[in-house]
Amino acid sequence: MTEPTRCGFVAVIGRPNVGKSTLVNALIGSKVSIVSRKAQTTRHRIHGVLTRGRDQYVFVDTPGFQTRHGGAMNRMMNRVVTRTLAEVDVVVHVAEAGKWSSGDAQVLPLLPDPAKTILAVNKVDALRNKNDMFAYVGKIMSQFTYGAVVPVSALRGVQLENLLAEIADRLPAGEHMFEADALTDRPVRFIAAEILREKIFRLVGDELPYGCTVVIEQWDETEEGARIAACIVVEREAHKPILLGAGGAHMKRIATEARQDMLKLLEKPVHLDVYIKVRKGWSERESALRELGYE
């Protein structure tokens, strides 16, 4: 007798920089989310699908729970987190081994039924004394009784099988929602925008805090190739020269690297035009955010 298939939504949450994107990428085995050294680079919900035998995991990579900054942008991001957790079947709360801060604790009131919530203690590779783990986990469990606790290293691929097994145990029985080879249900142009955004964060992210988004304005694709126009929206006139760099060097590098990744994604030649627009105070205006595609 074959066992019934299981399929469910999995949310990965945690304060910024704990390694959520790295973990989801490591679990799915393909790059659908963006990974960056900078905090708060994941603004969108990204669905990545992993199918293994009878189990299908549909990952919902929520934005980092925001606590440090005020404003419409953060309120909106936190609403997305709350809504996401209410909808999913399994929640993986990612924390960093040995480091538990108020940012982590602020996620606790949002967590649903403990039975469907798993604590993934990430970055165990960076922990000097492994014995510290007991006290660390004990302290956290006194605040919230997770259904399971799994120490992992997303970066080194440690204990990921155990984590997947704990998630699978919580997936409801049901038909698979996606084809077995599906990686993401995000349209390819969304991924193209993410690629460009990743290049910007990597090159000038430190100088350009939170004030930029990418909008794909033109997408003409044929069998032979794709012609893409992307607009980088910045908040201030002063951000333009940061993006451009001396003699346009930054912009050139960002566009070149993004074009190369897009070529791999689409498997055909890509002509990419990138330009910059200034839209003052965009991150403070919810209507402007909606217009730009943030729901």
Ligand X SMILES: Nc1nc2c(ncn2[C@@H]2O[C@H](COP(=O)(O)OP(=O)(O)OP(=O)(O)O)[C@@H](O)[C@H]2O)c(=O)[nH]1
- Contact footprint for ligand X (CB under 6 A): 14, 16-22, 35-37, 39-42, 64, 122-123, 125-126, 153-155
Choose between 73 and 251: whose C-beta lies nearer to ligand X.
73
**178: annotated binding-site residue?**
no
Query: Is 162 labeled as ligand-binding?
Result: no
> Minimal distance in Å, beta carbon 67 to ligand X?
12
Nearer to ligand X, 57 or 259 (CB): 57
Nearer to ligand X, 101 or 145 (CB): 101
Query: Is 64 flagged in the annotation as binding?
Result: yes
- Residue 199 marked in a binding site: no
Shortest approach of ligand X to residue 287 CB, angstroms? 25
Nearer to ligand X, 18 or 192 (CB): 18
Q: Which is nearer to ligand X, 18 or 200 (CB)?
A: 18
152 is in an annotated binding site: no
Q: Is 109 annotated as a binding residue?
A: no
Ligand-binding annotation for 61, yes or no, is yes
Q: Rounded to the nearest whole angstrom, what is the least distance from the CB of residue 38 to ligand X in the complex?
A: 7
Distance CA 152, CA 191 (A): 27
Q: Shortest approach of ligand X to residue 41 CB, angstroms?
A: 5
* CB distance 152 to 21 below 8 Å: no
**Smallest gap from residue 154 Cβ to ligand X (A):** 4
Q: How far is the CB of 65 from ligand X (least distance, A)?
A: 8
Among 243, 191, 187, CA closest to 212? 243
CB within 8 Å of 3: residues ≥ 6 apart: 54
Q: Is 70 annotated as a binding residue?
A: no
Residue 94 or 228: which CB sits closer to ligand X?
94
Whole-Å CA distances, 203 to 31, 243, 249, 254, 257: 19, 9, 11, 7, 11
Residues annotated in a binding site for GTP:
14-21, 61-65, 122-125
* Binding-site annotation, residues: 14-21, 61-65, 122-125
